[in-house]
Amino acid sequence: MISVSILLVIGLVSIISPTLTQGQEAKFPSKAIDVVVPYAPGGIIDVGTRIFGEFLSRELKVPIVIKNVSGGGGMTGATAYLSSKPDGYTLLSSSGGAITSTVQLAKTPPFDPMKDFLPVGYIADAPIAMSVPKASPFKSFDDFLQFAKNNPGKLKGGVSSLGGETHIMFMSILKETKIDIKMIPYPGTGQLVTALLGEHVDWMTLTLPATLPYARSGDARVLLLTRPSPALPGVPSGREKGLPSVSFNIWVSFFALPQIPKVVYDRLVSAVEAVAKNPEVEKKLVDAGFQAQYKTPVELSNLIRDEWRMLSQIIKETGMKVD
């Protein structure tokens, strides 16, 4: 069933701006399209967006320019995007963390993800990994769990992107297992990985694409995933270990502003779908640690609604804070 909010927005635009729509139908796109990524360059969302953007540029026959606006666990860039002109020449590429979890931790939420962002398409997702350094005595999640239960407060765990999916995985593990572990926040992925490899923390939660190079080199050992991955066969998922809330993934999706002309929106939706189903794009995303997976705007809208509810419950139960 198509989201009522999407239908209302598209219908309103169609009624009030038929002349603009007809003019833009012949011209769009006629210049470069900016894509705001609310995370730092080199991060997982940035990597996925750049892979996809290369092919989206070919499909639309205009340059795709990635603009990173980081800060606030993604919320800074997502909020800044709302001031863009709603003409289709500026899009947002985001994970759920920026628009469905971090915002729930804000004292005054700057936006409503169900109303302020118009889904264009979901292109890929990836599991989140819990890992330890190569010198760690823990060879399995069970080893880790037994030690943590027998030695409350002794282990230190690292996270980055407070309020995001990796932080939620960390807190969900603590909630489900009832272990007592000190959490150390880091300002970014690079600092967190450095801390793990230098054994300044005993374990970390990070996206699989960001963790995979270190797992493949033997510098880190992945003990748990939010979803099984062919890249690391044999590593259990949260559900397999009896941790039902440790089962969500980080995803990459494109959004527009609700005031966008319908014809421009339709062109973007069709272009994103075409690129997402391109086997070459799928291979590049998989090689980077993603699972290439397309979801329609309606499916993405429903996912955001469901994730909002699920994450809201986890945040409430774990007492998550970002300050």
Cβ contact 264:28 at 8 Å: yes
Distance of alpha carbon 271 from alpha carbon 235, whole angstroms: 36
**H/E element, 264:** helix 262-276
Mean pLDDT along residues 144-163 = 93
Q: Tell me the CATH number for domain 4-125+251-318.
A: 3.40.190.150
Q: Which numeric CATH code is attached to 128-225?
A: 3.40.190.10
DSSP state at residue 235: P
Mean pLDDT over each residue of the chain, to the nearest integer: 89
The two domains 4-125+251-318 and 128-225 share their CATH topology (first three levels equal): yes
pLDDT-derived band at 14, boundaries 50, 70, 90: very low
pLDDT exceeds cutoff 50 at 20:
no
Residue pair 154/179 in contact (Cβ under 8 Å)? The answer is no
Residue 10 exposure: Cα atoms within 13 Å on the Cβ side: 18
The overall pTM is greater than 0.85: no
**What pLDDT is attached to residue 288?**
86
Q: Note whether 245 and 175 are within 8 A (CB).
A: yes
Average pLDDT over residues 218-238: 94
**CA dist 294 → 158, 176, 224, 299 (Å):** 31, 31, 25, 9
Domain ranges for the chain, please list them: 4-125+251-318, 128-225
Distance CA 242, CA 38 (A): 33
